[in-house]
Structure 1
């Protein structure tokens, strides 16, 4: 007799797709009469097996089942052995059967439970402990401008619940950072997660539906141990629940646009929003979604002991200024590393430049949007001020703001040293704005010295305190109009101006 899956395949190919018996038989390497038999069979009777109750095992089967289900959420090295289960039953549950009986039952039940978990993962629409993931886009008010930012949604079809987090991009690092945050917040990992064919996860889709995963995503899956599924190309409806939840999140939580100053701080407020939303009845099951989500949680896999480093590493060659390009953005290293291979650690919010010993040379906030270059000037300024003749000034100065480029080119060698020392002393967070203003002020009467620039710099800093409006500490009386004689003194005394 053929297996159930084979019979199901025959009936689908012949009855639903209209394939001939001969074609299906050829593909399956069976007789066409066999194909005809199962394609047209009306009734499939289940063979009844005679079961005898094991009187010793019956009371402890629910206990063993509970242990096995708990252990299947853990790595194999943390799972109980059948021998350990027998010892616990004997010592704490007054079990009088043999260890062989326990071993046989454990082996059988593990196989049955694993098979049921595998089959249950296929539909995915309403199985506890499964999830779907996708990105959406919403408007945000940032720095007085309205910009669109992606947000990552993980939805749970069984409980109709969700979590979401906002990110500056839909790249691999943002995807994995968002997934790990959700795992850690929930304290567990969904057994199966369905994705669209997101470029952060999938490098290439082959003709037969096989996929080449990105290296970082593949390691992420192995670390957390969940099963992944991808929609067929052009079949976004296969993750219909998360598609609907992306719209629900946008309409109920992101419109009108939220004002954000720090995205990470904003994300901290989103956990409670999602959890509060579960205090309503499921649209179909008429049970509180919060109760159904508890069933999701109970079906999750356990978190690994260690977190995953949501970063990728690249070997890049710097240009003649010691600058490397990461995803079309430029980041400085140090003039000592000009035109050398540099190791770069890339996370969703940081670019770290490493030396051959993996020590950090420079650390940048990762750039998104229109800004294209991040410079950390201290390594350049220190070297320039100590050895100005060792570097072609024009090459390095081309990276400075133009006002400083022009000024330094008109300096003597000694003036250049002093100016670079001044920049090294006053430059904070690699922000030239105050220094630019100071140099403009100092240059109003010709080529300034570094002392004049420094004086103007502190003048600019203190300028807001120089012209403070002084509010009176007392209420002054209204003075009467001036007249000849002494009558105005009487008016002043009557108004209470003198005590």
Structure 2
């Protein structure tokens, strides 16, 4: 194609000066036929490229586009090959074209989709299927105590929607537990999630926008497959949508102080509150928020088959009493582990002591706030059964139900040994439910023996008939009242008004 200046010269020489085509051809070195063409050309508009019709491929291109979009939400190993897509077209749509045509189209579309992703420079607010995450704090009355608790908010800027959950801390286990709950409640995973530089997620901020992630967060990202972004240090406005939503959630759902006894039960009620809030129009787009949220949903990644185990493992050393320390809080293990190294599994709400076979030995509720020590007495009961007099120097009665405290105080030393051994055998995870019932049932006729309690306990375990006490048919003589326990021993060594040495 000739340059514009050459075309203008040809048209001037031929049309204005009357030169022949041959003469202009000799002057310019351009073929005479080309000179004639441009001298007489009238239409100089850019010709639109012609789109060749493909009667066989055109009807199935939208189908292939939909399949490729579906596969883009899955892990790479689960995506269909071009060959498999061709087979599906033949099987399901009676496709008559060639496999080569399908391969060429699929290859071209994959490159186009990749280019679109690589060149995307739109803010998250404009892209369906993206999210922002941040913590906020609000006042609560939790288990009758006034305190501030953090709540995790995941907002969806495109649709202006959100979900939120309340936790006892902003640690890694709470962050991942909250994200996972939201993913599974939503039934999908946002393609891109923007975070602040959370300590639970970011171990170190590197140059050029890079981050060194914590191990557990890196594994979490790998498990769910989303793309993460972090704000620049001190640039919280880069996640301005979720910051505004944190304030919106507090003002509309968490004030005045919510009264909570069971945090998990309270969190279950929050899903519906967030979903009911979608019954309004978007403040800018003049469209129902719920409709926009469905566009978010359509772009989410698929959930993996298994959920992520939001647990952190630590190896800690027990002290001489068998206590371990996790996050500056003390938890009991067992006297037999005194001085040993133990593996501990830590979740957002539990601390589980494991033995060498990685079996759970002791299960604690994780401590937050001012409380610093958690004691599970079952592993210590066998030791106490051999030293029952030491029981008064422990706080064991503070951990026992009232009926067991009364019973043990009324026991002789030998009975205390047997009762503590029984509790050490039957008590599981500090659950006294059946043991309390067994003790109450057999106490109706007075102070029971350990064997009676044991027999009644196993009757309850095996769902036998309600316990009925045995009433003797013979008449018995009246017996004098007796005083049980150890407190009356002093009376054996002293008479009224006489002191003993």
Under a length normalisation based on structure 1, what TM-score does the superposition of the two structures give? 0.71
Q: Give the direction of change, closer, same or farther, for the CA distance of 1:356–1:192 in structure 2 (3 Å limit).
A: same
**Counterpart of 1:217 in 2: which secondary structure?**
helix
Counting only pairs closer than 5 Å after superposition, residues 64-463 of structure 1 correspond to structure 2 as 64-120=64-120, 123-386=123-386, 388=387, 419=416, 421-422=418-419, 450=485
| Bigger mean CA offset, 158-167 vs 423-432 | 423-432
The CA distance in 1 between the partners of 2:206 and 2:417, in whole Å, is 56
Q: Give the direction of change, closer, same or farther, for the CA distance of 1:257–1:134 in structure 2 (3 Å limit).
A: same
Q: Which runs of 5+ in 2 are unaligned?
A: 1-45, 401-410, 433-482, 489-501
Partner of 1:478: none
The CA distance in 1 between the partners of 2:320 and 2:48, in whole Å, is 80
Contact (CA 8 Å) 2:203, 2:212: kept in 1 or not?
Answer: yes
**Counterpart of 1:87 in 2: which secondary structure?**
helix
| Bigger mean CA offset, 55-64 vs 273-282 | 55-64
Q: Give the direction of change, closer, same or farther, for the CA distance of 1:94–1:291 in structure 2 (3 Å limit).
A: same
In the TM superposition, what whole-angstrom CA distance separates every residue of 1:383-412 from its partner, at most 9, and x where no partner exists?
Answer: 3314x49xx979x956768999xxxxxxxx
Under a length normalisation based on structure 2, what TM-score does the superposition of the two structures give? 0.70
Shift of 1:74: 1.2
The CA distance in 2 between the partners of 1:134 and 1:47, in whole Å, is 53
**Counterpart of 2:109 in 1: which secondary structure?**
helix
Shift of 1:148: 0.7
Shift of 1:417: 6.4
* RMSD of aligned residue pairs (Cα, Å): 3.1
Counting only pairs closer than 5 Å after superposition, residues 23-42 of structure 1 correspond to structure 2 as none
The CA distance in 2 between the partners of 1:228 and 1:245, in whole Å, is 19
Shift of 1:419: 4.4
The CA distance in 2 between the partners of 1:87 and 1:402, in whole Å, is 71
Q: Give the direction of change, closer, same or farther, for the CA distance of 1:421–1:238 in structure 2 (3 Å limit).
A: farther
**Counterpart of 1:135 in 2: which secondary structure?**
strand
In the TM superposition, what whole-angstrom CA distance separates every residue of 1:128-160 from its partner, at most 9, and x where no partner exists?
Answer: 000000000011122333211100000000000
Question: Which of the pair has more CA radius of gyration?
Answer: 2
The CA distance in 1 between the partners of 2:53 and 2:337, in whole Å, is 76
In the TM superposition, what whole-angstrom CA distance separates every residue of 1:194-248 from its partner, at most 9, and x where no partner exists?
Answer: 0000111111112433211111111000000000000000000000000000000
The CA distance in 2 between the partners of 1:48 and 1:419, in whole Å, is 99
